[in-house]
Amino acid sequence: MTESVSLKYETNVAVGIDAGNLSMNHIIQVRELSKSFNGTTRAVDGISFEVYEGEIFGFLGPNGAGKTTTISMLTTLLRPTSGSATICGFDILKEPNEVRKRIGVVPQEYTADEDLTGYENIMFCADLYGIPRRISRERAAELLQLVELESAKDRKVETYSGGMRRRLELACGLINHPQVLFLDEPTLGLDVQTRAAVWQYIRRLKDEYGMTLFLTTHYLEEADSLCDRIAIIDHGKIVRIGSPKELKDSLGGDIIELGIQENDKEEDPTLLILGVEHVKEVKRVGPAEYRIKSELGEVTAPMIIHRLISNGYHVSKISLMRPTLDQVYLELTGKSIREENGDQTQFRRQRATLRRARS
Amino acid sequence: MSDVSGLPEDMKKAYGTASSTPSAEPSPHSRSAIIDSSPWHGLWALTNRELKKWYKNPVILLLSLIQPVLWLGLFGKAMNFNAIFTDGAFSIPGLDIPKEVINQLGNMLMLNVFGTSDYFSFLAVGMLSFIVIFTAMFSGMSIVWDRRLGTLNKVMSTPVARGSIVMSKILSSVIRSIVQAAIILVLAVLFGLSTTGITPLGVLGTFTSLALLSFGFSSIFLMLALRSTNQNTQMAIVNLLNLPLLFGSNALFPAGFMPEWLQAFVKVNPISYATDIGRQLLLGAGGMASLAFDFAYLAAFAAAFSAIGIVLSWRFLTK
């Protein structure tokens, strides 16, 4: 450990990262990272962000937005066209092997060997990291227990269900006790129950081991319920970054819809409502129907009703809508259906993954 | 779910160190302390994975043996040159040539042309090279599959040396070739390969030459597949090179009677040298070149192409 730590410091000095960024809790630092394919298509276009140690960081975006390209660069599989990134203080281009030792990768595909047993697959992964047998046997047993595959460990992987395969991939990704675990679409093609189980493992890794998790997904509810922070990426650029709450708040708060029977004076109640604290916007959307945008809707709504009643209005109905990540997402990435970006390999892999998940 | 609480302390400790400051006490369980950083770690694991797929699936092994066996049976036995030239197979009208003379002439003819009086033995040694080439040609396919299934990416995200990834494919191909060639040799003996000149040292030398041949050709075909994502391209390449490589060597026919241009190709084709070693050591046949030259040529071929393969893998495995 001492050796790697001293290395770490040398790296930081050599790369010339300024003191402000040296803060140890930035476990991943990405600076202006870009990747072009065939010189033209910019799959990732100058993105910059940090991931804090111990958080679950989600990369959210439509198909072909650049999620997998980014994860491939961070896991040293793809060379960036320009820009840089460090993981645990190591540069992904200059010291890829130091990065590889410290990360775990759970790819989108099922990469386990079908002809081998679950246990053999885990041991294979351990050998790739050069972990001595004495230790890897112990770890394999622990991890099989963690992902609840102990009873199936001596069965060939071809007999596994999609969920079991995903769990096996997870165990393989953890065999080197990584500091950062990358998960590419961890629940693609899984049914609701299995998806919930995978979420549970992911949360446990964070809570019990303080592991940093970087995951990509296009399931909004997954990002919302799992991630501490989310980056929404589209057309190779990060369009918004923040906690799920911050993102939702960025929409301007809750929507309160009121049915108001106007009083005898036939005064427009808009000004009256605008006077209530937290109310941001009032719109008359129909006869006796008003849509109010407000923060803290559950507190504000009773206050509005109270004020209306005490001014002689009669409130006939109310509905309160919290903003969802879906709304944020659609607002930021647009509603048009995406043309597939012609990435055949990606498509083929996803199809293969789905097929095996359902087998 | 409660079973995690039973996880040994060291797992938690290992993760604990991740969040500590760099000045923290080094933990005996920390990652760097237990990771083997020798450049060749994982090489055997990768090779073994390839081999397991092969020996756990005996059907593939059997199928791969059928073709050379068919060649041996159909070509080696049907082209019965001995019978053509001996035992009264021909006579010249008006001349009463004794049978012994014809047989004598026939044998001399065979020895002159094939270096052995028996074409089956001649071809059997050629088939040893044939199975090596065939196995090597398909070694590139496995890397294309690994790329398609995502296994290659998985392996490349670990600290395994890029060279080990390619080397493991080469090694597994070499081991498979040797085993298959050994089976072919045994079958050939059962079918009537003359065993009079076979010595343990001769067999050892022959298989060394086959290993070198396999090393070189496996490297070439892996290099062709390094960036490929399409196994059809690989198949096309294999089909394209298959026959020219085989017929452009002395594996099926002696080079001496070929046209000049083909002889020139036979002389650079490494298959010729491996076959030449086999014929000299197993059949005691006169060679195309000296044993020393044959071995030197094959060793240079194997070393050069495996080195190029490793260098290219550093450069081209990562896109």
Residues of chain B with Cβ-Cβ distance to A1 below 8 Å are 17, 24, 26-27, 30-33
Other beta carbons within 10 angstroms of residue B88's beta carbon come to 9
Residue B44 lies in a domain: no
In terms of CA atoms, which chain B residue is nearest residue A205? B15
More reliable by pLDDT, B57 or B302: B302
Residues of chain A with Cβ-Cβ distance to B23 below 8 Å are 5
Domain boundary assignment for chain A: 2-248, 252-322
Give Cα B159 distance to the centre of its chain: 28
Write down the mean pLDDT value for chain A: 82
Is A2 a residue whose pLDDT tops 70?
no
Give residue B90's pLDDT band: very low, low, confident or very high (50, 70, 90): low
Min Cα distance B305 → chain A (Å) is 25
The least confident of A256-270, A321-335, B193-207, B234-248 is A256-270
Give residue A262's pLDDT band: very low, low, confident or very high (50, 70, 90): low
How far apart, in Å, do the first and last CA atoms of chain B sit?
41
For tokens 């961890």, the residue is A186
Q: Which whole number is the average pLDDT over B81-98?
A: 69
Write down the mean pLDDT value for chain B: 80
Residue B41 lies in a domain: no
B158 neighbors B152 (Cβ within 8 angstroms) = no
pLDDT for A337: 55
Interface mutation vs chain A, best among B17, B50, B157, most A CBs within 10 Å: B157
Give residue B308's pLDDT band: very low, low, confident or very high (50, 70, 90): very high
A149 neighbors A72 (Cβ within 8 angstroms) = no
Q: Which whole number is the average pLDDT over B64-80?
A: 80
Residues of chain A with Cβ-Cβ distance to B32 below 8 Å are 1, 3-4, 101
Give residue A263's pLDDT band: very low, low, confident or very high (50, 70, 90): low
Instruction: Count Cα neighbours of B7 within 13 Å in the Cβ-side half-sphere.
Output: 23
Q: A3 and chain B: CB distance < 8 Å anywhere?
A: yes
Q: Which residue of B4, B23, B41 is in closest CB contact with A146?
A: B4
Residue B258 lies in a domain: yes
Q: A121 and chain B: CB distance < 8 Å anywhere?
A: no
Return residues 215-244 of A near B (CB < 8 Å).
none
Residue B12 lies in a domain: no
Separation between Cα atoms, residue B250 and residue B259, nearest integer Å:
13
Q: B33 and chain A: CB distance < 8 Å anywhere?
A: yes
Separation between Cα atoms, residue B30 and residue A157, nearest integer Å:
31
pLDDT for A15: 37
Helix (H, G, I), strand (E, B) or coil at A212: strand
Structure confidence by residue, pLDDT tens digits, A65-80: 888 899 999 999 999 9
DSSP-assigned letter for residue B25: P
Residue A81: both structure tokens together: 């066209």
B5-17 burial code (b ≥16 CB/10 A, e <16): eeeeebbeebbbb
More reliable by pLDDT, A142 or A263: A142
Other beta carbons within 10 angstroms of residue A347's beta carbon come to 14
Q: How many domains does chain B have?
A: 1
Other beta carbons within 10 angstroms of residue A115's beta carbon come to 16
Return residues 218-257 of B near A (CB < 8 Å).
229
Q: Which whole number is the average pLDDT over B189-203?
A: 85
Min Cα distance A135 → chain B (Å) is 8
Q: What are phi and psi of A46, to 5 degrees?
A: 60, 55
More reliable by pLDDT, A31 or A308: A31
Give residue B35's pLDDT band: very low, low, confident or very high (50, 70, 90): low
Helix (H, G, I), strand (E, B) or coil at B280: helix
Report which of A250, A294, A290 is spatially closest to residue A276, judged by C-alpha positions.
A294
DSSP letter for each residue of A216-262? EES-HHHHHHH-SEEEEEETTEEEEEE-HHHHHHTTTSEEEEEEEE-
Return residues 198-217 of A near B (CB < 8 Å).
200, 204, 208-211
Is A23 a residue whose pLDDT tops 60?
no
Helix locations, B226-269, DSSP H: 231-247, 260-268
Is A243 a residue whose pLDDT tops 60?
yes
Return residues 255-294 of A near B (CB < 8 Å).
none
How far CA B121 is from CA of B28, B51, B95, B245, in Å, comes to 63, 30, 33, 21
Structure confidence by residue, pLDDT tens digits, A288-305: 788 888 888 888 888 888
Angle at A129 between CA A124 and CA A130, to 5 degrees: 90
Is B56 a residue whose pLDDT tops 90?
no
Structural domain of residue B221, as residue ranges?
51-316
Give residue B243's pLDDT band: very low, low, confident or very high (50, 70, 90): confident
User: According to CATH, what is the number of the domain A252-322?
Assistant: 3.30.70.100
B285 neighbors B275 (Cβ within 8 angstroms) = no
More reliable by pLDDT, B236 or A1: B236
A306 neighbors A247 (Cβ within 8 angstroms) = no
Pairing of strands A237-242, A229-234: antiparallel
- Beta-carbon separation of A128 and B45 below 8 A: yes
Separation between Cα atoms, residue B140 and residue B146, nearest integer Å:
10
User: According to CATH, what is the number of the domain A2-248?
Assistant: 3.40.50.300
Residue B42 lies in a domain: no
Return residues 166-185 of A near B (CB < 8 Å).
172, 176-177, 179
- Beta-carbon separation of A9 and B318 below 8 A: no
pLDDT for B102: 74
A216 neighbors A67 (Cβ within 8 angstroms) = yes
Residue B2 lies in a domain: no
B225 by Cβ neighbours in 10 Å (0-12 / 13-18 / 19+) ranks as: buried
Residue A32: both structure tokens together: 């202006």
